[in-house]
Structure 1
Amino acid sequence: MRTAPLMIILALAGAQIASAQRSCVENTVCVFARDGQDEITIWVESRLDEAQRVILMPRLLNLVSDRDLPYSAVYEPGTTTKALTLRRLRQNEYVNYELKYYTLPDYLGEMQCSDETACVLARKMDDKVLFYGMNLTDKVISLQFRPTQFENLYADQALPLWKVVPPADTVLLVETYIPRPMEPHNYRFTYRWYNGAIGERHSLDAAYLLPHAVPERPVRKGRSERADERNGVYWYVPDGARVRASRGGIVLGTHQSRQDTGDVYSVTVQHEDGSQAVYRYLDRVDVAVDSTLSTGAILGHAPQFVMLTVQILKPDLSLASVPIRFHMRDGSVRGLRNGEIY
């Protein structure tokens, strides 16, 4: 079961509010905005013959919502309903927002969403209650489901548990049974998520591009005692060398730190198998968080050397670096040796 994400973007500058824009999921649900005095109202129009649940996830600049976000509600067939009111915080300052929303049939059950990343859906079917994890992002996440109360419910596996949820997808977390169907049942739960595929091994087929295009530079294997850096590889490069993505993926984040030589940066890129590459010791970053990169895309520049570490998420939630193989100029794929030139 997949969700159907759509996005509408509206902007407000000065005292003027952007004219209403409409975004629709086929002939199911439409979401649009209406102007007001220093406010924008978000409306949901339900077009099908069955109720629809809509999750609204606006990102706001100088605006505040009248409801907790993300906001999830059920909309009856053939209705047009005001869902949110966004009010200006500070007069005469720029206002902007981006609105992303998801739709799914209401019969799928109750839903809890903690942020813009993940939701848990509870669906009752006959004498069962099924709990699903939803990933609302373009990244691989791992989601933990932890019940705090199960009354007249029996799970088919040990709890709490972790499940890997692919990008923009929904997976079954746990199936529970109602042992006494004629009696009431009840449940409460919490959940949390991490970027990455917990407990998954690094793909044996993965091969990496050298992260720079400067020839005749020696390699130095990492000597760190830290598990997340132990298999890191260093390349010496001339000042200003361009650093490129050794493998395509999505930018999870960038980090800035201060050293004696000045500011240094790192970039973390998640791959399709949930592993992540960390590129360290850059002096400039040219990519944005959440951007999608192809292999070879320019990440930034390095002044002296660059370090590449590929990590996986272990069951204890720690990160561990893994050995990796590279594409060689002769067409082969193999690991690097300390001190050699590639």
Structure 2
Amino acid sequence: MSSARWCVRLLRNSFPLETGATEMAGRRFLLYFAWSRVLEEKASLGTLENRYPALFELRRAIWPHYEWAADGERYRQGIAGFLEHVILFDFQRFIQVILEATGNAVTLVERQSAEGGCSPLDDRLLSSADTVIVVSLDHLVTEQTVDANEVAAVRRFLMRSGTALIVCPHHDVGAPPEQSAREVELLHHGDRLVSSQQRLGGVARSLLAELGFPVENRYGLSPAAAPDGGPAPLDVATHLDTPGFLVGVETFNLHAHLPHLWVPPALEGRVSVLARQLIHPSAPPHPFVERGHDRFNAMLWMPPDATRAGHLLVCDATIWSSAFGGLTSLNRFWQNLARMPAS
């Protein structure tokens, strides 16, 4: 299904932010949620696979956490409530950090809003930003893909010097058809809110492929923790990180199931793996680990070249969330991006 059938609503200042920051010539950030809220919210609760949990399911699974959201009059208890009060809520800290660092409010966009308002990834939208973050938390079953006009607009955006496009899929759990293989994955990551299959990142995959970088988000891997309970240190390729994206960044987060960012062999030399993250050594087995891997690709960088003046990065969608630990280093990473010269 073409993404042309789905629409986007531009939401400025979607969350309450401090008003004391003054406008300055700082970078302008666009946070683009590449889901169809209509399709995500209307998923049947009788189907376990490829949907987000309802808010009441989350509350039941991790009780007594989230009891602040127990009032059904104030907080919608279905999938809509989970998207609004959990996922979007968890991005507020990132939005605040960018506002304070740049003086510019983050523009938040949903590919299709709950109300059905529309606008694609087009020149109008992209011209308002220097850094575009595509948060691809769309389930593959919703068939969200970019069309030719969107790809052309993104290419024009990347022709501006100093721009950055950061494409952010999430996990791909349960790709094998066999139940036994899916049970192995579940035992490895241990999150009972993710059933036999949850495949995310359709817009990320289609956009990257159209740009000539068919990177894929694979698996849902359990990350290792440090002795203090925080995320284990990243394996950062500092010699490759010439722009300094990860200067002072020691960790990402401890989300229960993170993707390996698979790079096709044909792209070797064109894609730099800036960071790898250690897999939990005591977690139940996973086929990726059994093939000899003890860490996964956590951040990729495609440097500017003769056809593209802007930076292209790939990382997990939860890097912009405050819910999974590692906030000291995440704040530093966000500020590094904010301090890049405006295009």
Please, what TM-score do these two structures have when normalized by structure 2?
0.24
More strand by share: 1
Bigger share in helix: 2
Which structure has the bigger radius of gyration? 1
Structure having greater relative contact order (Cα 8 Å, sep ≥ 6): 2
